[in-house]
Structures are given as C-alpha cells and as structure tokens.
Amino acid sequence: MAPEIAALESALDAAEHDARTLVAGLTAADGLWRPAPGAWSIAECLDHLATANRIYVAAMRPSAVEARARGRLRRRPALPGTIGGWFVRSLEPPVTRRMRAPRAIVPRQAPALADALAGFLDSHEATRVFLREFADIDLYGVLFPNPFIPGLRFSLATGLHVIPAHERRHLWQAWRVRRAMSSHGGE
C-alpha cells in the first residue's frame, strides 16, 4: 500500500479512536447537550460527519469507476495539489474561521448519540472500501465534482484528504462541547 494511502487509513483509525473516546461515558442526553442556542451537540457533530463522508464518497465513486474503465492507473502520490492542499488545510483545527454547513449536511435535529456514532463508523467503512478499491488509479489526476460547491472540481486525492481534515475539525468542535458540558455541571 502506498504511504499516503496508509496515512489516510491511519487518519480514519485515529478519528474512530477519538470519537469513541469522546462519547465514552456519555448518556444519550449528554450527547444532545448544546453549549448555546444554535450550537451543535456532540451527536450532531458526529451526524454531520457521517452524512458528509457518505455524500463525498458517493460523489467520488463515478469518477473513480470511469478512471478504472479507462485504465487511468496511478502515476504519482495521491496528495492534494496546491489549491486542494490549501482547502484541506483550511479545514484543520483549531477553527479560526467558521463556515456554514451546506444544507445537505446540516445534522439531523437531535440524533441519538449511539446512532450518530454508528453512522460515523459506517461512513468510515465506506471510505476504506473506496480507498482499497481505487488505490491503484490516478487519484491525483482524476477529478470529481465537489458535491457541496457547485462548479468546483477536486482531484480524488484532495477529496480523500478532505475527509479526515473535516473530521478533525468537527471532532475538535465536539470535544469543546464536552469540555463546556463538564464546566456547566453536565456529564
């Protein structure tokens, strides 16, 4: 397995460990606690990530399938280019600039914590399947339409790196919710 593909798999493993640690010992009510009106709960952060991951992988699949059919095999490492790299870095915590979530990935209202975690973990399995299935194609050179920004196309490599960066952003957010809950007498 190429080093950058292995690093993506490791990033998924780290996010899963982080999410499980995050929810350990929380009740269903704790998972829905919000630090302020309009803020997201821990369950909503996980639900948002699960939905975003599923939509992103589904958007990448047709381009990957077509690349495979055309014999577009790996030519260089599956790393983002200059613009894609900038976009990936912009998602990393600590969050200094808030972004409004596209309507398609706004979390469900009050999802059950256990369901949100299960959906998050399931989305990782779909991402792993994609990685393993298409690791040998030209992930750097094949583009797909970004499902959230009309008219923007990213390389499959950029899309794959967006997923863990986006997860780190919202897991950081969820940890801040947990710390706020602790300081307000929750847990």
pLDDT at 183 (0 to 100): 85
Q: Rounded to whole angstroms, how far apart are CA atoms 116 and 172? A: 16
pLDDT at 33 over 80: yes
**For residue 169, which amino acid is it?**
R
Residue percentage of the chain with pLDDT more than 70 = 98
Q: Rounded to whole angstroms, how far apart are CA atoms 65 and 99? A: 31
Q: Which residues contact 137 (CB under 8 A, 6 or more apart)?
A: 64, 67, 68, 72, 73, 74, 156
The encoded tokens of residue 125 equal 């399995």
- What is the mean predicted confidence (pLDDT) over 53-81? 97
159, 149 in Cβ contact below 8 A?
no
Long-range contacts of 126-131 (CB under 8 A, 24+ apart): 126/53, 126/54, 126/57, 127/12, 127/53, 127/57, 127/160, 127/163, 128/9, 128/12, 130/57, 130/60, 130/61, 130/64, 130/160, 131/5, 131/8, 131/9, 131/160
Q: What angle do CA 95, 143, 167 make, to 5 degrees?
A: 25
> What ranges do the domains of the chain cover?
3-183
Mean pLDDT for all residues in the chain = 94
180, 45 in Cβ contact below 8 A?
no
For 150-172, the pLDDT digits (tens) are 999 999 999 999 999 999 999 99
Residue percentage of the chain with pLDDT more than 90 = 86
Q: What is the DSSP string of 48-74?
A: HHHHHHHHHHHHHHHHHHHHHHTT-B-
pLDDT at 100 (0 to 100): 83
Q: Which residues contact 156 (CB under 8 A, 6 or more apart)?
A: 60, 63, 64, 67, 78, 134, 137, 139, 140, 142, 143, 144
The pTM for the full model equals: 0.94
CATH class for domain 3-183?
mainly alpha
- What is the mean predicted confidence (pLDDT) over 45-54? 97
Which helix (DSSP H) or strand (DSSP E) does residue 42 occupy? helix 42-69
